[in-house]
Amino acid sequence: MTTRVTCCQIPLRIGDTTGNQITATAAIEAAATDGAQIVVLPELASSGYVFADRAELESLAETRDGPAITAWANLAEAFDLTIVAGFPEAAGGKVYNSAAVVDRSGLRGVYRKAHLWDTENNVFDRADDLPLLIDTAHGRIGVMICYDVEFPEWVRAVALAGADLLCAPVNWPLLPRPDGERPTEQVRALAGAGMNRMPLAVCDRAGVERGQDWVGGSVITDANGYPMAIAEYCTPGSITADVDLAQSRIKRFNDNNDVHGDRRTDLYRRTALLD
């Protein structure tokens, strides 16, 4: 049995929450029509990313009962979807880079990004959340955001906690890379999936914003970390794959090896890993 997963690599416009919601709704409706069961949107899908300052971010931040989550929850109910999407979260004077999980029953949970990228450190508050885990009809969904995925400790932790699919809203800035190479962020995501036998759905974005272009590196993998669907770089568009999430339960991959059982935690404790 497989689960149809779609990543909507939509263009976003900074500050245009109404326009971004219209774009997201169209992409989600198209995914639903195509049979999607789990839909992932980018990081900060409601607001865009390149904030001029904290004041602009605050003006775009929403609470958990705000319009973005409400709209996503309505779509989730209408089409029986599980939706994972990023938004700037206002909470008691703080603003977090967050991602919500909604399904037909409404809001299931929110994750606040633990590893902040570059100038996010100047505008967002840093959170102390562990990776989010939500049990759904399709399996256990793990959630983290963008730069989080580049910390193998974080990916390992969510896999050890039993995630059957890691959903990661991202905004991967376009950085130089050698011709013919996949962006390193994507390589790291593929490695994390394979090293944990945990399928992964990364949803990136498109649309130049205040001079910043984006990789457009959305990818959905199988449990071996090989891409099942991969987006065209720097281009809006959805990708879809039918993923066998039950594969994530099989950490053993030959008679003698198990991606988690083979860890030498006895030795890791003698290293500086947690110092």
**Site residues for its own copies per CB under 8 A:** 114-122, 128-130, 147, 150-154, 156-157, 160-161, 177-178, 181, 184, 187-188, 190-192, 194-195, 224-227, 254-257, 262-275
Q: How far is the CB of 248 from its own copies (least distance, A)?
A: 16
Nearer to its own copies, 210 or 263 (CB): 263
Q: How far is the CB of 189 from its own copies (least distance, A)?
A: 8
Nearer to its own copies, 92 or 275 (CB): 275
Q: How far is the CB of 250 from its own copies (least distance, A)?
A: 16
Whole-angstrom distance, CA of residue 148 vs CA of residue 98: 12
Closest CA to 101 of 115, 87, 114: 87
Closest CA to 182 of 223, 226, 135, 136: 226
Q: How far is the CB of 208 from its own copies (least distance, A)?
A: 20
Nearer to its own copies, 33 or 256 (CB): 256
C-alpha angle 27-29-35 in degrees, rounded to nearest 5:
105
Whole-angstrom distance, CA of residue 159 vs CA of residue 167: 12
Other beta carbons within 10 angstroms of residue 274's beta carbon come to 7
| Burial class for 80, CB neighbours closer than 10 Å (0-12, 13-18, 19+) | exposed
Q: How far is the CB of 252 from its own copies (least distance, A)?
A: 11
Q: How far is the CB of 195 from its own copies (least distance, A)?
A: 6
Whole-angstrom distance, CA of residue 275 vs CA of residue 6: 38
Amino acid (one-letter) located at 223: A
DSSP string, 98-149: EEEEEETTEEEEEEE-SS--TTHHHHSPPP-PPPEEEEETTEEEEE--GGGG
Beta pairing class for 200-203 and 94-103: unpaired
Nearer to its own copies, 33 or 270 (CB): 270
Phi, psi (degrees; rounded to nearest 5) at 227: -65, 135
Amino acid (one-letter) located at 233: Y
Nearer to its own copies, 33 or 254 (CB): 254
Catalytically annotated residues: 43, 113, 146
Nearer to its own copies, 44 or 116 (CB): 116
